[in-house]
Amino acid sequence: MAFVVQDLHRTDNVKIPHEPVYHTYSRWELDGRAYIFAYRDIDQRPDDTMADIYLAASGGYKRIGSIEITGMVTGVSTANLTGGNVPDILFQYEGGELHYLTIVRLSGGRVQQVFRYGASAIDVLSQPKPVIEATSKVANLVEQFAWDPHAAKFRKIEQHPFRTSQ
């Protein structure tokens, strides 16, 4: 059994046939449409999880994409980071001593992974515009990333040494 510790929209009311079987489901209502996140182990390794994302349509479910999660899911949320019509999905998970963030964009009936990064700490900050801040204590580095609408991807916008409080 894999580790999906926090998904606030977890549900026991969904079952989608699949091999290997899904162990955890969540239902998300985004922009008037229902999405199902179905979690399964990869090769019977609970620390490697695949999140298959389905669109609920006409009494059934249509898989629109998958995201690999290499650790224990500690949070799933939404935020408007890329300016799309549908909020982006943020998967937070831990693997070893690192914290990871994967951001998924739902667009045109498909799933697009637009960001994946791991660091000692990683947060989404609401400044004048949303910024992802990754702190690497080992590398003594803080990096910030923001969505570039012209390139349609996240770009590093700032980097500076990590300062510990004295």
69 in any annotated domain:
yes
Residue 56 vs residue 6, higher pLDDT:
56
Alpha-carbon distance of 62 to 106, in angstroms, equals 14
- Total tally of structural domains belonging to the chain: 1
Alpha-carbon distance of 153 to 95, in angstroms, equals 24
pLDDT in tens, 18-42: 888 888 889 999 988 999 999 988 8
Q: pTM of this prediction?
A: 0.88
Q: Are 90 and 75 in contact (CB under 8 A)?
A: yes
Q: 11 - beta bridge partners?
A: 25
152 in any annotated domain:
no
CATH number at residue 84: 2.40.128.460
61 in any annotated domain:
yes
DSSP 140: T
Q: How many residues does the chain have?
A: 166
In terms of residue numbers, what domain contains 40? 10-119
62 in any annotated domain:
yes
